[in-house]
Amino acid sequence: MAAQVDDTVTDPQPFVPILTVMADYGNAPFLWLVNKPDQGGVGPNLCDGTSWDESLPMSEGLWRKFADWAIEFDRTSFYSDDFDASSWDLQAFHERGLQLARWLKEEVEETYRVTYMKPAEDPNDHQDERREILATGELLALPSFGRMQAK
């Protein structure tokens, strides 16, 4: 009797949903979710600075820290004629965002991948645009989405 051959292909790495930390405008959105392998970009908005509830993938304390960070961004008028870029410390903003992303990774562990993406308002958004936060806290550079190739 011949042995049956199993010709089904299984993905060695099952899909893990991706949380992307990225500040944006309008109610201080800061967390985006890709929950399907064929979904592109950062996915739809999951969290903003307006309210926390138990369905969110983070503690209320961490949400509050994220909300404060995102609200500061939301209130900055990057596109106004009187915006003084020297008054906005993008490096400190990113350092704070990356620390928040590390804390998020600690809370969600392996349930989600966590990435950090610079907002388009950063004139250097093409440098280290996207990075994944690993369980160790280290950063892994990810390919750009190419959103701002020609500025």
* Among the ranges given (3-12, 93-102, 109-118, 133-142), the one the predictor scored with the smallest mean pLDDT: 3-12
Q: How far from each other are the two terminal CA atoms of the chain, in whole angstroms? A: 66
Q: What is the DSSP string of 71-132?
A: HHHHT--TTSTT--GGGS-HHHHHHHHHHHHHHHHHHHGGGSEEEEE--TTSTTTTTT-EEE
Number of alpha carbons in the 13 Å side-chain half-sphere of residue 81: 0
Question: Residue 148 pairs with which residues in a beta bridge?
Answer: none
Report the predicted TM-score, pTM, of the whole model to 2 decimal places: 0.86
Name which of 96, 91, 99 is nearest 137 in CA terms. Answer: 99
Residue pLDDT, tens place only, 109-143: 999 999 999 998 888 888 889 999 999 999 999 99
Name which of 20, 44, 40, 46 is nearest 101 in CA terms. Answer: 20
Residue 38: pLDDT over 60:
yes
In this prediction, residue 150 has a pLDDT band, given cuts at 50, 70 and 90, of: very low
CA gap 58, 139 in Å, rounded: 20
